[in-house]
Chain A
Amino acid sequence: MFKRIVLVVGCVLLAASSGFAKEKFGSVVNGTSGSIQIKGSDTMVNLVQAWAEAFMTKNSEAFVAVTGGGSGTGIAALLNGTCDIAETSRKVTQKEIDLANQKGIKPVEFTVALDGLAVVVHPENLVGKLTINELADIFTGEIKNWKELGGKDLPIVILSREVNSGTHVYFKEHVLRQGDVKHSEEFSDSALLMSSSQAIADEISQNQNAIGYYGMGYISPSQKIVALAQDKNSPYYEPTLENVLSGKYYISRPLLMYTKGQPQGLIKEFIDFALSPAGQQIVRDVDFVPIQK
């Protein structure tokens, strides 16, 4: 009986404290103390976490919490009022802007870094370069066997991210539909939807049949990078810092942050820090591409 009472009291206390915590997070932050909630793109989590750590060392009064979940999750959280900054690897859609207007929120956009999307296969895969058309045909399910591309006679297993991922949306719009809004290509329905970039990396490194994509921050020796070209006659490029900066690598994109209205106080300081030379050095350290200033 006593145990049960303790349990109930404990639950009540826990509920009360979590309610209290929420209140604290939601409060307006000013100066260099207070806390910021950042939510969104899985691609950017490592980068923003690195910024947050550096920022908190500089400002010991500040607290920055970073969570992933996908770009869509971040924007939804910004609109639902559960985060202060949304980190996204895609632009907001018109639909999201309309919804924001309905709620009286005006999202303000900041480009904080650049990212190349790396297309990766198992290290033993013979295929090392693809054109954008071939890549699109693989992911829509037109090309089903590696042998059609000069590889071994193995069925292709497509790995994609979940629909809440900005990377998923970006890849669909810029590779499958090649930037043309009138096109309506979809990922093949046999594409496996993986819950994180790391899950894609893990499956690629143990499966010879698989092909997947992720932000270049995830590149590691246990996956093989595929070089890409616009068409058969153009040169092939790998997702390196130089190729993304010069715009030669075809699938690269800006990484963004959204705030509710013009940022103020601590939120503004955090974004200023991310854009500062020190912040952009961190971008380079975690293998993304700094924005040119």
Chain B
Amino acid sequence: MLRRQITLKAIKEFIIEKAIYLSGLTSIIIVLLIFIFLAKEGFAIFKTASIKEFLFGEKWYPISTPPKFGILPLILGSFYVTIGAALISVPIGIASAVYIAEVAPPRTKEILKSGIELLAAIPSVVLGFIGMMTLVPFVKKVFHIPTGLTAFSGAVMLAFMAMPTIVSIAEDALNAVPRKYKEAALALGATRWQAIWRVVLRAASSGIMAAVMLGIGRVVGETMAVMMITGNAAKIPHSIFEPVRTLTATIAAEMGETVQGSDHYYALFAIGIVLFFITFIINLIADFALHRRKT
């Protein structure tokens, strides 16, 4: 009787262990398959356009004859929007994380936390729509520019989207700092501000770096909202107050039209590869930042 129970238990354990192992393996296989598919469809474009023409070409006219597949304006477009969004969301995000983790009384803390989680729950198309109706005319009026559909409007809207990621991960990092660090600083006569700024923030810096990187990763990959409010002009931007076209918006706007197997179709997949590399590098930086603490 006892013996049977043991073998049953062992079998059960064995199955569960393998199942978990398989699910871990599956996600890696899926990522690999996605990359292989991307590469297979994307690299075909380099038969018609050289890598240099593709990455540094200044004109994107995919349906003209002959077509021009230069994605430099698109890369710069994504870059402008991302940097703008980071400049807005990182200081505000870290400041609110510090407030929530270190300063706020428990009740305020709960309300703020659920409020920020709610912000993450708003679908990006809704944010885009709100931006189009309110932010775009406002930006046009305030800055006296010909149109409000600019990289700046996109950056402001995306800052809202990156904020929840930054705040919640940065807050976790701050909470992970041992209490005794802060207590020791206070005991040595540091003010509360000095303890937070010089001790807690420094100790949590790697986690905060990871939060920033993951927030930026979210911004780079965002599509719907930027497509609605950045104007989508494939021109090399000279300031953040000009319309831009991002990598993601280009894929989303044009994929439906392409016939499978055409150069345009391959070019869009090649843009996908570029995006994949950008987010991969950002995630890698976040990973390094997180692990630096442990070693």
- Looking at chain B's contact residues, the main secondary structure is loop
A73 cross-chain contacts in B, Cβ below 8 A: 256-257
Contact (Cβ within 8 A) B63 A193: no
Who on chain A is nearest to B137 by CB? A206
From A55-63, A183-191, A266-274, give the one contacting chain B.
A183-191
Nearest CB in chain A: distance from B132 CB, A: 7
Contact (Cβ within 8 A) B243 A162: no
A195-B228 CB under 8 A given contacts A155-B146, A186-B61, A210-B147 = yes
Range of interface residues on B (Cβ < 8 Å): 20 to 34
In the complex, A207→B146 CA distance in Å? 8
In the complex, A186→B63 CA distance in Å? 11
Check: B93 CB closer than 8 A to any chain A CB. Answer: no
A192-B149 CB under 8 A given contacts A169-B63, A186-B61, A202-B132 = yes
Contact (Cβ within 8 A) A164 B243: no
Who on chain A is nearest to B149 by CB? A192
Check: B221 CB closer than 8 A to any chain A CB. Answer: no
Check: A109 CB closer than 8 A to any chain B CB. Answer: no
Counted as pairs of residues, one from A and one from B, with CB atoms less than 8 Å apart, the total is 88
Given contacts A95-B262, A192-B243, 14 further A-B contacts (CB under 8 A): A72-B63, A80-B259, A80-B260, A99-B261, A156-B146, A162-B232, A162-B253, A162-B257, A190-B235, A192-B147, A192-B232, A195-B227, A199-B228, A203-B149
Contact (Cβ within 8 A) B253 A164: yes
A-facing residues in B133-159 (Cβ within 8 Å): 136-137, 140, 146-149
In the complex, A225→B245 CA distance in Å? 28
Contact (Cβ within 8 A) A70 B231: no
Check: A209 CB closer than 8 A to any chain B CB. Answer: yes
Who on chain B is nearest to A166 by CB? B257
B62 cross-chain contacts in A, Cβ below 8 A: 163
Contact (Cβ within 8 A) A209 B146: yes
In the complex, A80→B136 CA distance in Å? 38
Check: B233 CB closer than 8 A to any chain A CB. Answer: yes
> CB < 8 Å: which of A154, A163, A189, A193 contacts B146?
A154
Contact (Cβ within 8 A) A163 B259: no
Check: A76 CB closer than 8 A to any chain B CB. Answer: yes
Contact (Cβ within 8 A) A203 B147: yes
Contact (Cβ within 8 A) A193 B64: no
Nearest CB in chain A: distance from B270 CB, A: 17
Contact (Cβ within 8 A) A157 B257: no
Contact (Cβ within 8 A) B259 A186: no
Give the total of A residues in contact with B, Cβ under 8 Å.
35
Who on chain A is nearest to B59 by CB? A189
The residue in A186, A191, A192 that gathers the most chain B C-beta atoms within 10 A of its C-beta is: A192
Q: Please, could you name 22 A-B residue pairs with CB atoms under 8 Å apart, sorted by A?
A: A72-B258, A79-B259, A80-B259, A80-B260, A95-B262, A99-B259, A99-B261, A154-B146, A163-B253, A164-B257, A169-B63, A184-B64, A189-B233, A189-B234, A190-B242, A190-B243, A192-B231, A194-B232, A195-B228, A207-B140, A207-B146, A210-B147
Who on chain B is nearest to A207 by CB? B147
A157-B132 CB under 8 A given contacts A164-B254, A189-B59 = no
A191-B233 CB under 8 A given contacts A155-B146, A157-B146, A209-B146 = yes
Q: Which 6 A-B pairs have the closest CB atoms?
A: A164-B257, A72-B257, A73-B256, A189-B235, A193-B232, A192-B231
Who on chain B is nearest to A39 by CB? B256
In the complex, A131→B257 CA distance in Å? 32
Check: A34 CB closer than 8 A to any chain B CB. Answer: no
In the complex, A79→B105 CA distance in Å? 62
In the complex, A33→B257 CA distance in Å? 30
Who on chain B is nearest to A185 by CB? B64
Contact with A along B199-232 (1 / 0, CB 8 A): 0000000000000000000000000000110011
A70-B147 CB under 8 A given contacts A192-B243, A195-B227, A202-B132 = no
In the complex, A157→B140 CA distance in Å? 12
Contact (Cβ within 8 A) A193 B253: yes
Contact (Cβ within 8 A) B147 A193: no
B234 cross-chain contacts in A, Cβ below 8 A: 189, 193
In the complex, A157→B61 CA distance in Å? 19
Nearest CB in chain A: distance from B63 CB, A: 5
